[in-house]
Amino acid sequence: MSGHPAPRAPFRPRRAGPRRVLVHIALFFLLGAISLGLGLQGRALLVGHAAQLEGSLLVDTLLEGAAQRLRGALVGEDSPQALARAVDTGISSRKRLLKVEIARQVQEDQPNQDIARMALDTLAQGVLARAGEEDRPALQALYEAQAPVLATGLGEAADQLERGFSLARVRLNLAVGVPNYPLMYYYTPLLALGAFLLLFAAALAYTYWRGDEEKRAAVGQRLEPMDYLLPFFMGVIAFTLFPMVRVVIMSFQERYRLDGSFAGWGLGNYEHVLQGVPGTTNYFLQGLSNTLLYVLFTVPLATALAIVIAYLLNQRLRFSALFQTGYFLPMVTSVTAVGLVWRWIFNRNFGVLNAILGWFGLAPVNWLHAASNSMTVLVIFGVWSSLPFTIILLLSGLQNIDETYYTVARVDGARAPRIFRRITVPLLAPTISLVLIINSISAFKVFTEVKVLFSGYAGPALNMYTMVYYIYDMMYEYRELGRAAAAAIVLFVFILAFTMMQRWIQRRWQYE
């Protein structure tokens, strides 16, 4: 007995201890402080930019406003040409120096009213210096009569500009082109996150302080799943959930552009997408009809071919590894690379496809550069590249069919075609419908194929827009994110319909 090791302690699953709570308090406190700091820095940056922007806007308003008002006061409809020219040159002769002076006074926080008066006076002096000897007294009198009204109006306009200037508007006005102040754009979420983390840390600290050992252990255990989920959810929230919500909002922000500016709220984006520019081709509707045609041709064709091939591959077969490798190869290869290969195959002058047509005495076809052949080319490429995926799904469907059905049928003397028609196809029906839907969904997103086959354009005559191509164009070429978002929502509606069908089929056939 004495040789035995000491008996183990009775079973008590080790719990995520109080230490975990302490670590979390420290961690969340640190993260909260960092994010709060970054948010504050971003806000400070934004305020700085705002002041800068406001200043330059104010200077511009005062300068241009003074010039316009003065000209309006001095030159009427019936004034002689010479006078008008004199006033213009007189104003522009003082502009540059005046701008510097206005900027100085704005920085010194002089009242807008005074700056306006100063600006008008300076410009008027310039005009008087240029005006002819005979015009001068009249102009002087005219100006002196009008000056107080002009200055008041200008000062009020400048005041109004200052009042209407909010941080939110600055953010929208600042160009995106300026790099390295990303924090500025996200200072609100950063501040919120920081505050939340700090509060959370504080709450944890409070329970740790007030609770007993039992309570601490319980809290520690609660925290555990969160640790495991945190990295995952950071990605999901930032790059799936947020974009999902944002794109819906964006689709209602009319002419929302990459730099964050937009014209207003409403259905304008959808209107533009669905109606296009009057008098020109509506590329979205073209894309929609192309996409639908592509789905309609490619998916049934690929599925029908795949059923036959999967059926043949499913039999006892020699070299099955060789066959499988060959048939599945297009699935793993880059669409960009094999798209180029097909471009070479479709080449009009030296392409192998036209050579094969030549064997049968057919004339060479202008595959890639004739608009009428574009869809054929795209469908051929699409069928070829979606076959492997389709075959694999069908093959695994076939392998799930119970062997007994076949044995019984064979015993009853049924022949292969009959077995295929009466047993294989009906039992494969759930898989087939599933494959049709999954393939339709992915065919709806056709983009790279077009981009590569037609050398970076939407077809030889801009006739091959697809829905995603349109989205890409709006987003990347035109920077009209709002319109791209509206188009994406329309695409999503289609995909949603198919997904619902897929869910329904899966539930109906208990298919996993």
Partner 1 sequence: MSQQVKNRAALRAATRAYRLRLVLARILRYLLLSLGLVIMVFPFYWMISSAFKTAAEMNLFPPSLAPRNWFNLDNFRIAFEKAPFARYFLNSVLVMLGSVTATAFTTILAAFAFSRLRFRGRELLFSLLLSMMMVPFEMLIITNYQTIINIGLNDTLYALILPFISSIFYTYILRNFFQSLPDGLYWSARVDGCTNWKYLWKVMVPIARPSLVTIILLNALASWNSFMWPLLVIKSDLMRTLPFGLYTFTTEVGANYELLMAASSVVVLPMVLLFLFARKQIVRGVARGGIKG
* Residue list 413-432, contact with partner 1 (CB under 8 A): 416
DSSP tag of 253 = E
CB of 344 to partner 1, least distance (A): 5
Smaller CB separation from partner 1, 236 or 408 = 236
Size, binding site for partner 1 by CB under 8 A: 110
Rounded to 10 deg, the angle between the 213-236 and 18-74 helix axes is: 40
349's tokens: 């002058």
Report the distance separating Cα 331 and Cα 306, nearest Å: 14
- Interface residue with partner 1, options 58, 392, 450, 464 (CB under 8 A): 392
Contact 18, 213 (CB under 8 A): yes
Compute the least distance from the CB of residue 39 to partner 1, in Å: 14
Given the rule CB under 8 A, which of 9-17, 42-50, 149-157, 287-295 is the region that contacts partner 1? 9-17
Q: Residue 185 and residue 173: Cα distance in Å, rounded?
A: 12
The residue (of 361 and 456) whose beta carbon lies closer to partner 1 is: 456
* Of residues 118 and 313, the one with the C-beta less far from partner 1: 313
Residues 361-390 that bind partner 1 (CB under 8 A): 384, 386-389
Show contacts with partner 1 in window 486-505 (CB under 8 A): 488-489, 491-492, 495-496, 499
Give the Cα separation of 495 and 478 in Å (integer): 25
The separation between CA 167 and the C-alpha centre of its own chain, rounded to angstroms, equals 24
Q: At what angle do helices 112-130 and 81-107 cross, to 10 degrees?
A: 150
Cβ-based nearer residue to partner 1, 286 or 390: 390
Q: Minimum distance from CB of 228 to partner 1 (Å)?
A: 4
* Residue reference for tokens 């200055």: 151
Smallest distance from partner 1 to CB 51, Å: 21
Residues 92-121 that bind partner 1 (CB under 8 A): none
CA 33 centroid distance within chain: 31
Integer Cα distance of 48 and 106 in angstroms: 15
Q: Are 383 and 301 in contact (CB under 8 A)?
A: yes
The stretch among 42-50, 66-74, 267-275, 352-360 that binds partner 1 (CB under 8 A) is: 352-360
Binding mask 247-276 for partner 1 (x = CB under 8 A): x--x-------x-x----------------
CA angle, 308 then 309 then 315, to 5°? 95
Q: Under the criterion CB under 8 A, does residue 468 sit at the interface with partner 1? A: yes
> CA Rg, the chain, in Å?
36
Q: Tell me the C-alpha distance between 295 and 449, whole Å.
A: 13
Q: Does 442 interact with partner 1 (rule: CB under 8 A)? A: yes
Contacts with partner 1 in 314-343 (CB under 8 A)? 315, 317, 321-338, 340-342
Nearest alpha-carbon partner for 41 in 193, 189, 183:
183
Specify the residue, 61 or 354, whose C-beta has the smaller distance to partner 1: 354
Which residues in the 176-235 window bind partner 1 by CB under 8 A? 176, 179-182, 185-186, 222, 224-229, 231-235
Asked if 106 and 100 count as a contact pair (C-beta separation under 8 A), the reply is no
- In this complex, which beta carbon is closest to partner 1, that of residue 72 or of residue 182? 182
Q: Please, which residue, 337 or 411, has the CB nearer to partner 1? A: 337
